[in-house]
Amino acid sequence: MDVIMMLIVIVLLLIGLIGCIIPVLPGPLISFIGLLVFHTFTSFSIEIDMLWLLGIIMITITFLDYWLQIYGVEKFGGGRKAVNGTILGLVLGLFLPPFGIIVGPFIGAFIGAKIEAKEDMNRAIKIAFGALAGFLGGTILKVVFSIYITILFVNQIFGFF
């Protein structure tokens, strides 16, 4: 039973890490579910306080991931059209992996900002970089969280730390 559950946990952790890059998959949530499966169905144990803390962090990161991209667009001067362009670019970018996920929001924000800014190319580029900065910030948070969960798992198995 432990071996089957360990394999399930490993698959969940890998999907969680992949989900940090692919916006359709909620990476931190999948990684956290992997940790919960590990805690619940194997002979290994993680303290309940740690699970609660990680759950709260996971929810916070999920919120921040969505908020950072919109914040980046707005902070760099974009409005509703630039935000909508970012979201549309993100969705369309999913069909052009791996770079479409990064370039899509940038191009979407640029087009939305260009519509808003009319002829101001520099402003549109600045807003597009805001979208990219927000996307990368959220992605970094998700990756760090999922790697931490994976390290917790590996540490429980092999006792490195």
Handedness of CA 9, 102, 23, 63 (dihedral sign): positive
Q: Say yes or no to pLDDT of 23 above 70.
A: yes
Q: Say yes or no to pLDDT of 54 above 70.
A: yes
Q: What is the pLDDT of residue 32?
A: 97
Higher pLDDT, 16 or 119: 16
| pTM tops 0.85 | no
Q: Say yes or no to pLDDT of 52 above 90.
A: yes
Q: Say yes or no to pLDDT of 97 above 80.
A: no
pLDDT band at 1 (very low <50, low <70, confident <90, very high): low
**Torsions phi, psi for 76 (to 5 deg):** -90, 10
Which residue in the block uniquely carries the two structure tokens 């935000």?
Answer: 83
